Structure 1
Amino acid sequence: MKPFCFADGQIISTEKASIHPMDLGLIRGYGIFDFFRTVNFQALFLDSYLDRFFASAEKTFLPLDYSRAELKAVIQDLIEKNHLKEGGIRMVLSGGVSSNHFSPAKGKLFIFAESLIFPAQEKYDKGIKLLSLEYVRPIAEIKTTNYALPVWDSMRWKDAGAEDVLYHMNGIISESSRSNFFIVKDGVISTPDAHVLMGITRKNVIELAGNVQIRPVSMQEALNADETFITSTTKVLLPVTQIDEHEIGTGRPGPVSLDLLEKFRKLEREICY
């Protein structure tokens, strides 16, 4: 965590940021957040992330008393004060202190600057393993702070040598715990259409690829795919070469995945340099 954050309506020392112990964010796990990267001191795809943050606040009935322009100014100040050339910005809006300790209230806005470590290059070169998990994330279209299940379950992934999980229900895949999921079969790219967070990286990968099928994707399709990969802010595009004990395709990152990763990195350079 970097030394300066935004809390209580001002930029302060991060170590002095605090929250009421009865805030719903603590006692009920109720709140929203969003996270985006900085590249060359610029917030990458900032408008898209702010669109999602404002939408999440509205859908969760949490007042957000800042305009887009005000948030942009705060974010730029934090980037400069923390000298955040390449890193991450995390916006968190808590559930607030509720009179009945249950209903959403006026929460507290925090904006933190963070160092960012990408997955090791070896994971891009060799691909990663996912573990299947029968689960649908609650109100998946909202980026809530409720990650209790995957945080608890992550100890299982470590023991199994996996990067993350792959959620599915009744044989239909939705997403990973922190990423969107794609398959490639005979050159055609598909990604799940329901019970997913509309990821910003997902959105840009779809635009870069063109003609992506957004539809129900079955677990059997994923196991029989030529390639599979996940996308997220912190991973960009990470090839998936194993689901449970099943090898995907050749067991190596495929040409479609690697081409899209290079196109995304080129897009970053065009925007930020």
Structure 2
Amino acid sequence: MKPFCFANGEIIATEKATIHPMDLGLIRGYGIFDFFRTVNHKPLFLEDYLDRFTASAAKTFLTLKYSREELRTIISELVEKNDLEAGGMRMMLSGGLSDNHFSPAEGKLFIFAESLIFPSEKKYNEGVKLLSLEYIRPIADIKTTNYALAVWHSEGWKRQGAEDVLYHLNGVISESSRSNFFIVKDGQVITPGKDILLGITRKNLMNLAGNVQVRPITLQEALEADEAFISSTTKVLLPVTQIDDHKIGTGKPGPVTIDLLQRFKELEKEISY
């Protein structure tokens, strides 16, 4: 965590940020957040993230007292004050202090600057393993702070050498716990469009790939895919070469996956310079 954050309506030392212990964010796990990266001190795809954050606030009935322009100004000041050349920024809006300890109230806005740790080069070169899990995130189109199941389940991933889980219900895949999911079959890129968070990295990868099919993907289809990968802000695009005990394709990152990752890196350079 970087030394300065936005809390209590001002930029302060991060260590001084506080939240009331009866805030719904703590006692009910009710709140929203969003997370984006900076490259060369510039926030990547900021307008897309602001779109999603403000929409999430409206959908969860949480009051966001700051305009987009005010949020841009705060973010710019935090980037400069933390000298955040390449890092992450986390916007959080808590559920607030509720009279009945249940209904959404006026939440508290935090914006934190963070260091980033990307997956290792080995994971990009060799791919990762996912574990299938029958589950759908509640209100999946909103980036809520409720990750209780994933956090609890993560201890099992480590023991089984997995990167994450792959959610599915009745044999139909939705997403990973923190990433969107894609497969490639006969050169065609395919991704689910239901019961998912509409990822910003997902959106930009789809633009780069062109002609992406958005449709239900069965777990069986994923196992029979030529390639698979997950996408997120902190992973960009990470090849998936194994689901449970089943090897995907050749068991190595495929050409479509490798090409998309390289093209996304080029896009980042274009935007940030």
TM-score of the superposed pair, with normalisation by structure 1 = 1.00
SS in 1 for 2:119: coil
AA matched with 1:21: P
Cα deviation 1:85-106 (Å, max 9, x = unaligned): 0000000000000000000000
Partner of 1:47: 47
Task: Report the alpha carbon displacement of residue 193 of structure 1 after superposing the two structures with TM.
Answer: 1.1
Cα deviation 1:54-91 (Å, max 9, x = unaligned): 00000000000000000000001000000100000000
SS in 2 for 1:5: strand
Task: Report the alpha carbon displacement of residue 251 of structure 1 after superposing the two structures with TM.
Answer: 0.2
AA matched with 1:97: L
The aligned length equals 273
Identity of aligned residues (%): 73
Following the alignment from structure 1 to structure 2, what is the Cα–Cα distance between the partners of residues 82 and 237? 27
Does structure 1 residue 237 correspond to structure 2 residue 245?
Answer: no
Does structure 1 residue 143 correspond to structure 2 residue 146?
Answer: no
Partner of 1:265: 265
SS in 1 for 2:166: strand
AA matched with 1:263: R
Following the alignment from structure 2 to structure 1, what is the Cα–Cα distance between the partners of residues 217 and 254? 19
SS in 1 for 2:206: helix
Cα deviation 1:133-183 (Å, max 9, x = unaligned): 000000000000000000000000000000000000000000000000000
TM-score of the superposed pair, with normalisation by structure 2 = 1.00
Matches within 5 A, 1:1-273: 1-273=1-273
SS in 2 for 1:165: strand
Cα deviation 1:185-220 (Å, max 9, x = unaligned): 000010001000000000000000000000000001
Following the alignment from structure 2 to structure 1, what is the Cα–Cα distance between the partners of residues 43 and 15? 23
Following the alignment from structure 1 to structure 2, what is the Cα–Cα distance between the partners of residues 234 and 269? 16
AA matched with 1:210: G
Following the alignment from structure 2 to structure 1, what is the Cα–Cα distance between the partners of residues 108 and 63? 9
Cα deviation 1:10-50 (Å, max 9, x = unaligned): 00000000000100000000000000000000000000000
Following the alignment from structure 2 to structure 1, what is the Cα–Cα distance between the partners of residues 124 and 218? 24
User: Where do 5+ consecutive residues of structure 2 fail to align?
Assistant: none
Following the alignment from structure 1 to structure 2, what is the Cα–Cα distance between the partners of residues 115 and 213? 35
AA matched with 2:150: P
Runs of 4+ in 1 over 2 A off after TM superposition: none
Following the alignment from structure 1 to structure 2, what is the Cα–Cα distance between the partners of residues 24 and 94? 7
Following the alignment from structure 2 to structure 1, what is the Cα–Cα distance between the partners of residues 160 and 263? 32
SS in 2 for 1:132: strand
AA matched with 1:6: F
User: Where do 5+ consecutive residues of structure 1 fail to align?
Assistant: none
